[in-house]
Structure 1
Amino acid sequence: MTDKQPRLLIIDDDNEHVDLLADYLRAEGFLIDSVLDPQLATERALATRYDALILDVMMPGKSGIAILGELRRASQVPIIMLTARGDDIDRVVGLELGADDYMAKPFLPRELVARVRAVLRRFNLPPGDGGTNRLDNGTVSIDLAGREAWSNGERVDLTASEFNILAALLQSPEKVLTKDELTQVALNRSWSPYDRSIDVHIKNLRHKLGRGGAVRHGVETVRGVGYRIVRAQ
């Protein structure tokens, strides 16, 4: 991450909640903008270069899920979804649409700060120590320095979490990485038995790399253990 102050956009219709989060985040060194009207959220988010977005799911008139879908068609900016505690459907749908992470309400502001910093770290991860910036398995390739990915020669747009998962797999070809290991690498937090984040990110990754089944990507499930990437045939 650079030394500049990260700029965040909070999208939430609850003015009191936004003020609380904004004050806390500013005290932690972030530059904060906010938008209360969900109808204006997508345009506002794309008009400025933000380092990350904090997006509430439950808003009147237009849901955070709808806004997320619009944003992902135009941008790969890191997005943290705010969901109701226990609402697994919103979490899974949000992750499937490309959210990088989620926070279940209610939460302590310091927990959100930690999650935002984790998202920013993985979006700005430097190249690994392996001595090369380019990794591939015969079909899928990535540029660690440029954080770009290709499948069968065609560029693929990945979220920060998806890219970091793919990078971890390609840096350890044929090796099975557990969900806990992938959660630590890709999400900068610990995995819990009911956390489906890695499964959903892997599903999205396979879809993007495989382009509807037209390309063999080599990402395999090892049941009861985790995931690995093998050389594509």
Structure 2
Amino acid sequence: MNESPSRILVVDDEPSITEFVSYALKKEGFYTDVVDNGEDALALAMQNAYDLFVLDIMLPGMDGYELCRRLRAKTTAPVLFLSARDTELDKVVGLEIGGDDYLAKPFGVRELIARVRALLRRGNGGDFPGANHAITASGITLDEDAHTASGENGEIDLTPREFELLASLMKSAGKVVSREDLLRDAWGWEYLTETKTVDTHIKRLRDKIGAAGYDPGLVETVRGYGYRFKQ
């Protein structure tokens, strides 16, 4: 029997961040709701059983700290704070009022997903619905926990950025992934202006795949749009 994906509520009043976070979570298979204020977040928390809350601290009206206090009266689901405020005092306050983790802005996709997975595993006493730590396509297996890519010819030696690009492509194997989405996945929301760097890193990724004895043509160029990993 297939379990339903974990359900996450994202609360932030910056559209660029909510778009980035919800995109990253949905791509990992999580069900995600988004609101931009604490009052709406509380209303949704009363209506739905969430597995995790991702809260900005600087919210209009009710701030993230107060929202966390009120959520704690209703649920034991983990709370991950997001904030541009990165002092030790901010972190201590967030954790003392019931938060479970604290992620400073700006952050990348992998760090966000790693924190989310860790909190969900902790909350569920092990694994969780929607977890997907290994991806296999065209004879290559990518292990997201170990950060390795390998197959019958052995391991492919990748930099962290090349690994993130390959992960993004393999998760959508057989489908075209735009340069903008690759930037979002591998660099984070703060790097969404320059897409030419994607082409440079894709060339290096292909070289690494070829050097390891695999077909560099597994990463195909789709002219005018982006790239596709052969299924």
The 5-angstrom pairing of residues 171-186 of structure 1 reads none
Aligned to 1:49: 49
Aligned to 1:110: 110
* Partner SS, residue 34 of structure 2: strand
My pick for the range that moved more, 80-89 or 96-105, is 80-89
The 5-angstrom pairing of residues 197-208 of structure 1 reads none
Mapped partners of 2:4, 2:12: distance in 1:
25
Aligned to 2:74: 74
* One-letter amino acid matched to 1:76: T
CA offset digits 1:213-233 (Å, max 9, x no partner): xxxxxxxxxxxxxxxxxxxxx
Mapped partners of 1:94, 1:113: distance in 2:
20
Mapped partners of 1:62, 1:90: distance in 2:
16
* Partner SS, residue 104 of structure 2: strand
Aligned to 1:100: 100
Mapped partners of 1:3, 1:39: distance in 2:
30
Q: Does the CA-based 8 Å contact 2:82-2:102 persist in structure 1?
A: yes
Q: Does the CA-based 8 Å contact 1:14-1:36 persist in structure 2?
A: yes
Q: How much has 1:47 moved relative to structure 2?
A: 1.6
Aligned to 1:83: 83
CA offset digits 1:128-160 (Å, max 9, x no partner): xxxxxxxxxxxxxxxxxxxxxxxxxxxxxxxxx
Q: How much has 1:74 moved relative to structure 2?
A: 1.7
The 5-angstrom pairing of residues 180-199 of structure 1 reads none
* One-letter amino acid matched to 1:63: D
Query: Which protein is bigger by CA-based radius of gyration?
Result: 2
Aligned to 1:35: 35
Mapped partners of 1:63, 1:89: distance in 2:
16
Mapped partners of 1:101, 1:23: distance in 2:
21
Mapped partners of 1:125, 1:27: distance in 2:
23
Identical residues among aligned pairs (%): 42
Q: Does the CA-based 8 Å contact 1:85-1:106 persist in structure 2?
A: no
Q: Does the CA-based 8 Å contact 1:83-1:91 persist in structure 2?
A: no
Q: How much has 1:40 moved relative to structure 2?
A: 1.8
Q: How much has 1:62 moved relative to structure 2?
A: 1.6
Q: Does the CA-based 8 Å contact 2:36-2:59 persist in structure 1?
A: no
Mapped partners of 1:27, 1:8: distance in 2:
13
CA offset digits 1:9-40 (Å, max 9, x no partner): 10111122101111111111111101112222
Q: Does the CA-based 8 Å contact 1:55-1:79 persist in structure 2?
A: yes
Mapped partners of 2:3, 2:53: distance in 1:
19
Which structure shows the bigger proportion of residues in helix conformation? 2
**Contiguous gaps of at least 5 residues in structure 1:** 127-233
Aligned to 2:7: 7
**Contiguous gaps of at least 5 residues in structure 2:** 127-231
Which runs of structure 1 show a deviation greater than 3 angstroms over 4 or more consecutive aligned residues? none
* Partner SS, residue 89 of structure 1: helix
Mapped partners of 1:91, 1:50: distance in 2:
23
Mapped partners of 2:43, 2:64: distance in 1:
14
Aligned to 2:119: 119
CA offset digits 1:146-175 (Å, max 9, x no partner): xxxxxxxxxxxxxxxxxxxxxxxxxxxxxx
* One-letter amino acid matched to 1:25: L
* One-letter amino acid matched to 2:12: D
Q: How much has 1:88 moved relative to structure 2?
A: 2.1
